[in-house]
């Protein structure tokens, strides 16, 4: 479908135009013809906009947006503050990521002072898992492999159909893998038509962004991803050796 006419394009939490998927592929010329502002925190950002507001030290893009709105003099109501708090908490995985910094906690506290609902965010992220998603997680964990600190599993379209779940529900699979004792790095391979969507996570000092970048993706040192033009089994055969190599190169935790 055609995009509506606009004088300015604003992208948030996007490392490159290529990460827009079909929108970037189908409307690249339309996007290139307009000034673009990019607000992001990914280390792999290519600074491809007209104005790039990028802070790779920030733990979440919502931290940057909150700062930007303050500079612009925009008042936040409770709903806007709650939305930003959701972004801060979810992107830091409830302040568990290594990118979490004092400014992340201050941003969250400031948003709560402005009326953000902490309980609403906690409920949305941690206390509302659908039963169907739990069934998907169970099927994915049954296929999990865990060798020398590297864990991975495949989530197929047949599994989504059997559990009546959506592709984004596979995020819960990654949430479990990340918690494994002794984990160095993990991968979730999600079948998507003729392609495989890859999600990578790691614990310091393992850098999965470098692995993702070599596969045409990107992200952070401890959280990255890519889309591979391969079926899941072939994607596993390609990625897992690279992930093991990254773990070996990082040395002891």
CATH number at residue 209: 3.10.310.30
- Per the structure, the complete domain to which residue 147 belongs is given by 131-250
- pTM exceeds cut of 0.75: yes
Residues 211 and 137 in one domain: yes
What 157-162 contacts at long range (C-beta under 8 Å, 24+ apart), as own/partner pairs, is 157/191, 157/192, 157/193, 160/136
In the chain, the N- to C-terminal Cα span, in Å, equals 48
What is the number of other CB atoms lying within 10 angstroms of the CB of residue 35?
12
SS3 state at 54: strand
Query: Is 3 part of any domain?
Result: no
Query: Is 4 part of any domain?
Result: no
- Domain termination site, one of 108, 124, 140: 124
Query: Is 1 part of any domain?
Result: no
Query: Is 106 part of any domain?
Result: yes
Q: What order of strands is seen across the sheet that includes strand 9-12?
A: 9-12, 36-40, 51-54
The one-digit pLDDT tens for each residue of the chain (253 residues) are 888 899 999 999 998 887 888 888 899 899 989 999 999 998 888 888 999 999 999 999 999 999 999 999 999 999 999 999 999 999 998 998 888 999 999 999 999 999 999 999 999 999 999 999 999 999 999 999 999 999 999 999 999 999 999 999 999 999 999 999 999 999 999 999 999 999 999 999 999 999 999 999 988 889 999 999 999 999 999 999 999 999 999 998 7
**pLDDT score for 62:** 97
- SS3 per residue for 117-134: CHHHHHHHHHCCCCHHHH
- Domain termination site, one of 90, 124, 158: 124
Query: Is 53 part of any domain?
Result: yes
**pLDDT score for 233:** 96
Query: Is 2 part of any domain?
Result: no
Determine the Cα angle at 239 with ends 135 and 210, to 5°: 110
Residues 149 and 239 in one domain: yes
- Domain termination site, one of 124, 150, 185: 124
Residues 6 or more apart whose CB falls under 8 angstroms from that of 107 comprise: 62, 63, 66, 67, 84, 88
d(CA 109, CA 85): 9
H/E element, 112: helix 102-113
d(CA 209, CA 205): 12
Residues 86 and 44 in one domain: yes
Residues 185 and 203 in one domain: yes
CATH number at residue 48: 3.90.1640.10
Residues 182 and 212 in one domain: yes
**pLDDT score for 48:** 87
**pLDDT score for 218:** 86
Domain count, the chain: 2
């Amino acid at each position: 479908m055609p995009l509506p006419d606009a004088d300015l394009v604003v992208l948030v939490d996007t490392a490159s135009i290529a990460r827009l998927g079909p929108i970037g592929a189908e409307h690249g010329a339309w996007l290139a013809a307009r000034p673009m502002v990019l607000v992001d925190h990914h280390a792999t950002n290519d600074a491809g906009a007209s104005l790039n507001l990028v802070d790779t030290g920030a733990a979440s893009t919502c931290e940057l947006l909150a700062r930007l709105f303050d500079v612009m003099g925009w008042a936040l109501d409770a709903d806007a503050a709650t939305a930003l708090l959701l972004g801060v908490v979810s992107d830091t995985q409830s302040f568990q990521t290594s990118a979490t910094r004092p400014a992340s906690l201050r941003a969250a506290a400031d948003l709560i002072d402005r009326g953000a609902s902490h309980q609403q965010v906690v409920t949305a992220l941690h206390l509302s898992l659908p039963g169907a998603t739990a069934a998907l997680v169970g099927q994915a964990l049954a296929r999990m492999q865990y060798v020398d600190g590297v864990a991975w599993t495949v989530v197929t379209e047949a599994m989504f159909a059997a559990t009546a779940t959506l592709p984004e529900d596979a995020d819960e699979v990654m949430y479990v893998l990340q918690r494994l004792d002794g984990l160095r790095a993990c991968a979730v391979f999600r079948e998507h038509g003729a392609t495989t969507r890859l999600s990578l996570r790691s614990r310091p000092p393992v850098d999965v962004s470098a692995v993702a970048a070599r596969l045409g993706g990107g992200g952070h040192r401890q959280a990255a991803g890519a889309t591979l033009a391969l079926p899941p089994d072939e994607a596993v055969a390609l990625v897992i050796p690279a992930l093991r190599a990254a773990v070996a190169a990082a040395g002891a935790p």
